[in-house]
Structure 1
Amino acid sequence: MRAVRFGEYGGPEVLRTVEIEVPEPGPGQVSVDVAYAGVNFADHKARLEGYRVPQLPFVPGLEVSGRIRALGPGVEGLSVGQEVAALTEGGAYAEVAVANVAVVFPLAAGTDLRTAASLPTVLPTAYALLHSVGRLREGETVLVQGAAGGVGTVTGQLAREAGAGRVVGVVSSGAKAEYARKYGYDDVVLADGFGAAVRELTGGRGVDLALDPIGGDVLRETLDTLAVFGRLVSFGNASSAPAWQVGQPELYPGGRSVAGFSILTLAQTAPEELRALAERAFAVPGVELPVTGEFALSDAAEAHRTLASRTSTGKLLLRITP
């Protein structure tokens, strides 16, 4: 089968289209004939610096849509040929991928494979950030870093649906600001100097819940935007900054708190909890995530260049075998 993999770390040019053996599902797994694969920032970090890469060569990709090809031993409740979306632990940039049954989701009637590929990581992550970890309450103010990205696009809509009083997004350009305002955001500010802008927007009060996938200095500045009893949820380290620390001096004065979330880690440590979370997320009606870029499997390197340029919005997909 065809797959895209890399044998060394580096720029998008290290991605190569190759022929490899078709993987077989093990106990509690299914294999999927892949229609579409999502392109995520975690794939970029895997290729660039080895994020969650157990060994080389490695086939990246964390989410797929397609049709079940084969069932592993002990799998019940699914059938060959059934259309599904699934999370993987890598291997999605291929004609066939393997996933653990706990994170394989049959598609609801009327859901097409292209749409389905855009949601397995994004929608449960956004839902968890607001509800399971962030514990959003009606009327609260929410701040979202990366508001024009995949998670940001969905988070703005979910926050609005949950009754947030004000939803503020942070983006890197004016074009992204215009995009984000279509998806639940009341206000959108530019990343440069966002802390001061947020304090001005809130009359100096700050925000009740802030969500940060960037880390480093951005996380520190985000922490400073919190109101009394505010909560910050870290869900990534796109900046690749050294591990951060926070303690009594930052938290005690305002009764602030910091939490963390990783859908990939939860898939490994508590897959049944992730499944329950995902089912709640998928049940929220009317959430949109526009696919703003679609690439052939052989053009995976170009998809990565687009992602790394930080100019893209919404979701990027690889088209495998629709």
Structure 2
Amino acid sequence: MKVVQFEEYGGPEVLQMAEMEKPKPMPGEVLIAVTAIGVNYADTARREGAYVVPTPLPFIPGAEVAGIVEEVGEDVDSYKVGDRIVTLVGSGGYSEYIVTKAAALIPLPEDLTDEIAASLPLQGLTAYHLLTTMGRLEKGETVLIHAGAGGVGSLAIQLAKHFGAGKIIATASTEEKRKTARDLGADHTVDYTKYDWRDEVMSVTEGNGVDIALEMVGGDIFHETIRCMRSFGRIVVYGVASGHLAEMYPSGLMNRNLSIIGFFLPEIMKKPILFERSLQDLMKLVSSGKLKLTIGGTYQLKDAAKVHELMQARQTKGKLILKP
């Protein structure tokens, strides 16, 4: 079978096609013929050796896959050959076939395409749990979402609206992206490249600040976000896109009873009830039209390096999909 892997860290050029033996499922496992693969910034971080956990070499990236059950191992009676599924895996998605535990699979509704399904697990589950499990969003609360036009941000805006947020404030660097955020349901948008963006957030909240902030930039943005919070506010940190780690004194949280909460999606996989139920909820929202996904482009597996290059050059919009 064909895979795309890298044997050293570096730019998109280190992604290379390779031939490997088709795997066999062990007891409790299923062999999937992959039909669609979601591409994420986590894949580029893996490739650069800059992911939040070590990346062993050689490495096959790819966490989101949709496909068809090709073979089932012993003790698997929940799926049969021909079933359409979607799943989230730790790695190995850039491949024609992948073996995974049957317990990690979610059946696909007939009305969802493989491409849409492969667009949902990583960013959808992240947005879902940032707001619910970690942020504990309550109806009527104000939410600040950084990078509101991005993959996670665009879904978080829609989900915050669905879960009853009273006011949604999204940040983005260009007017085009801010318009996208407003079209998705943001009540206010802010240009976070301006030095006084925090003042605008405080103005639209009448000086009260926000209840929940979804923060993935780091550096100065993190510190300014703290200053945007109201008493008992929760900042959920799920990335450091700027590359600048923020330092802080925990005692500075005391005067407003603030909470800073970290989120790392792979930990969700250790609690199947959080993974299965929430992904099924997300698929229902997509099927009903309450959650909109945008496919920015579909490419052949052999073009993975090109896709990484386009994505990191910010030359794409929406989710990028690879197809074996």
TM range (shorter): over 0.9
Q: Deviations over 1:41-91 (max 9, x none)?
A: 110100012524542111100001110122233323111111111111111
CA distance in 2, matches of 1:243, 1:58: 29
Q: Note the alpha carbon deviations across 1:233-280, whole angstroms, 9 max, x for none.
A: 11223333347555121x11111111122211221x323432233333
Q: Residues of 2 paired with 1:13 and 1:209: CA distance?
A: 39
Sort the Cα spacing of 1:76 and 1:223 in 2 relative to 1 into closer, same or farther, 3 A: farther
Measured in 1, the distance between the counterparts of 2:311 and 2:228 equals 28
Structure-to-structure mapping, 1:172-187, within 5 angstroms? 172-187=173-188
For 2:271, the aligned partner's letter is A
Residues 123 and 282, structure 1, Cα contact 8 Å, conserved in 2:
no
1:234 maps to what in 2? Answer: 237
Structure 2: distance between partners of 1:2 and 1:115? 23
Q: 1:178 to 1:72 in 2, by over 3 A?
A: same
Specify whether residues 307 and 79 from structure 1 end up closer, same or farther in structure 2 by C-alpha distance, changes over 3 A only: same
Counterpart pick for 1:196 among 178, 188, 199 = 199
Deviation at 1:212, TM superposition (A): 1.3
Alignment correspondent of 1:223:
226
By how many angstroms is 1:16 displaced? 0.8
Counterpart in the other structure of 1:314: 318
Equivalent position SS for 1:123: helix
Give the letter aligned to residue 223 of structure 2.
R
Q: Residues 164-202 of structure 1: CA distance to partner in whole angstroms, max 9, x if unpaired?
A: 111111112222112222212112212213323212222
Tell me the residue number matched to 2:128. 127
Map of 2:292 onto structure 1: 288
Task: Note the aligned Cα RMSD (angstroms).
Answer: 1.9
Q: Answer yes or no: is the 8 Å Cα contact 2:223–2:246 preserved in 1.
A: no
Instruction: Kindly state the Cα deviation for residue 132 of structure 1 after the two structures are TM-superposed.
Output: 1.5
Q: Secondary structure at the match of 1:78?
A: coil
TM-score normalised per structure 2: 0.92
The CA deviation at 1:105 is 0.8
Letter in 1 for 2:127: A
Give the deviation of 1:119 after TM superposition. 0.6
Structure 2 counterpart of 1:117: 118
Alignment partner, residue 101 of structure 1: 102
Q: What's 1:258 paired with?
A: 260
- Residues of 1 paired with 2:305 and 2:22: CA distance? 22
Paired residues in the alignment total: 318
Gaps of 5+ in 2: none
Partner SS for 1:152: helix
Deviates more, 1:87-96 or 1:15-24: 15-24
User: TM-score scaled to structure 1, two decimals?
Assistant: 0.92
SS of alignment partner, residue 180 of structure 2: helix
1:148–1:313 CA contact under 8 A, matched in 2: no
Deviates more, 1:299-308 or 1:87-96: 299-308
Q: How many angstroms apart in 1 are the aligned matches of 2:284 and 2:41?
A: 25
